[in-house]
Amino acid sequence: MAEKYSHLLDNVRHIHFVGIGGSGMCPLAEILHNEGFEISGSDTAESDTLQRIRSYGIPVTMGHYPENVNGADLVVYTAAVKLDNPELVSAKAQDIPAVERCIMLGAVVEKYKRSIAVSGTHGKTTTTSMLTQILTMSSLDPTAIIGGKLPFIGGNSRVGKSDYIVCEACEYVDTFLHLYPAMAVVLNVDEDHLDYFGTLDRIKSSFKKFISQTSSCIVINGDDRNSMECVADIIKNGSKKVVTFGFGKKNDFRAEITGESSVCDSFDLYHKGEKICSVSLRVPGKFNVMNALAASAAAITLGVAPEDVVRALEEFRGAHRRFEILGKPCGITVADDFAHHPTELRATLTTAMSMGFRQVWAIFQPHTFSRTYTFLDEFAEVLSIPDHAILSEILPVREKNTYNIYSKDLAEKIDGCVWFKTFEEIADYVTKKAKPGDLIITIGGGNVYMCAGMIMERLSGKR
């Protein structure tokens, strides 16, 4: 059962983060450091994130040792940290309270009067990034916690001085039920994380609970039936403001795609049936039009002028690993994308195929055995969209292969698909086959971006 955490930081001076370099941990450490708390942390691998943390004067220890928590009043750890971690064991022995990152996120967000939590099965990072850029360029000076790097702010977090905070609200293991935002943005509700939820009905139940915890306004995808089912009771009793967005004319905010570009990067924005502005995006895809529409609806509802929304969106150049163009060595475009669910893959690959490349080479790293097993036929269908599909081994993440599922099982369902055990083999294969004018795109929620790096090195003549 979720609860508020307004007193979590009472009588706390020193906070220690176990796994401080994580994308979800670094922003919290940065915000709390800025608020005057003494912060320390530990991690097991060097990264750009740790360099950023150290630049604030925050001490970071490489490795997890019992003495790292000495003197701390509170310990924060990620869900990936096991309970037998030496630092957690030491904290328990010293009676130092220890909480998961999601609880600390709830406590931090609760400190801001104007909190906006962006939820949904797909599109959270891009939409949160867009909204952060809009509010920042509109001089609202927000604090932000983003699940990926936003070049505009030089990382995945920003510390502002206003009472605005924008954050991602992830549904996995009901993490977002630790949030009580003033505004919730709901992008979509789809079947995912079935290893935890089991059924779509349970996913919708979780979203309903999250929406009920929102105090002021819900900005929601009016085209998505599942999303609208989750907000139906609130619309019926009129207990909170509900703002809808989508392509359908019934929505409060509507986008109408314009121009002759098959990339669908330009649209007119309507509010209550009246055209209020036109937007030309720099990021491709109809799905990005929808992300931009959601961010626009939220921002304008918060009072941002439409012209300020346009200015920010037209300068938005994407978020890290969201159809990110890495380079064009040898006349071959190399890109990387985070998509790891069939719905996301369809959006990414449909966009890629519409962009006029000679041929599209899609390299996909399946993410978790359970997702691959559950959506095997759906993955096979969407991976038949590109000219060529190449698979790596399945990334197990937190699972054991009790499903007896392998990449070769997926490859057998896709005409002409090949699979390899290592990224090195994939990089060698595709760089020998691709020609100028082609697109090579690595796709997946794991570490397949490493394969993209290998491809860039090979095409640039660097081993």
Q: Quick: pLDDT tens for 387-429.
A: 999 999 998 877 899 999 999 999 999 999 999 999 999 999 9
What average pLDDT does the segment 43-48 reach? Answer: 84
pLDDT at 46 over 90: no
Q: Quick: pLDDT tens for 322-365.
A: 788 899 999 999 999 988 889 889 988 988 998 889 999 999 99
The pLDDT assigned to 463 comes to 44
What average pLDDT does the segment 366-386 reach? Answer: 94
Question: How far is the C-alpha of 28 from the C-alpha of 159, rounded, in Å?
Answer: 10
The pLDDT assigned to 49 comes to 83
345-378: b (≥16 Cβ within 10 Å) or e: bbbbbbbbbbbebeebbbbbbbbbbbbbbbbbeb
Query: In terms of DSSP H, where are the helices of 150-268?
Result: 194-197, 200-212, 225-237
Angle between helical axes of 423-433 and 449-459 (0-180°, round to 10) = 40
In sequence order, what are the residues at sequence separation of 6 or more whose Cβ sits closer than 8 angstroms to the Cβ of residue 133?
A: 150, 152, 153, 312, 313, 315, 316
The pLDDT assigned to 262 comes to 47
Q: What is the mean pLDDT of the chain?
A: 92
Query: Among candidates 6, 44, 12, which has minimal Cα distance to 25?
Result: 44
Of all residues in the chain, the percent with pLDDT exceeding 70 is 97
Are 13 and 38 contacting, i.e. CB atoms less than 8 angstroms apart? yes
Look up residue 72 and give its two tokens: 């701390």
The span from the first CA to the last CA of the chain, in angstroms, equals: 52
What average pLDDT does the segment 110-127 reach? Answer: 94
Q: Which of 9-13, 125-129, 255-259, 313-317 shows the lowest per-residue confidence on average (mean pLDDT)?
A: 255-259
The pLDDT assigned to 2 comes to 42
What are the strands, taking DSSP E only, across 286-352?
324-327, 333-337
| Residue numbers annotated as active site | 124-125, 168
What predicted TM-score, i.e. pTM, was given to this entire model? Answer: 0.82
Q: Quick: pLDDT tens for 254-278.
A: 999 986 454 558 999 999 999 999 9
Q: Which of 2-16, 246-260, 447-461 shows the lowest per-residue confidence on average (mean pLDDT)?
A: 2-16
Q: Quick: pLDDT tens for 165-224.
A: 999 999 988 999 999 999 999 999 988 777 778 899 999 999 999 999 999 999 999 999
Question: 4 vs 25, 118, 162, 213, CA distance in Å?
Answer: 19, 19, 22, 10
Residue 297 pLDDT class (50, 70, 90 cuts): very high
62-76: b (≥16 Cβ within 10 Å) or e: eebeeebbeebebbb
Q: Which of 84-88, 100-104, 322-326 shows the lowest per-residue confidence on average (mean pLDDT)?
A: 322-326
What are the strands, taking DSSP E only, across 34-182?
38-43, 60-62, 74-77, 98-100, 114-119, 143-150, 155-158, 164-168
The pLDDT assigned to 462 comes to 45
Task: Count Cα neighbours of 40 within 13 Å in the Cβ-side half-sphere.
Answer: 18
pLDDT at 149 over 90: no
In sequence order, what are the residues at sequence separation of 6 or more whose Cβ sits closer than 8 angstroms to the Cβ of residue 26?
A: 20, 49, 52, 53, 155, 156, 157
Of all residues in the chain, the percent with pLDDT exceeding 90 is 76
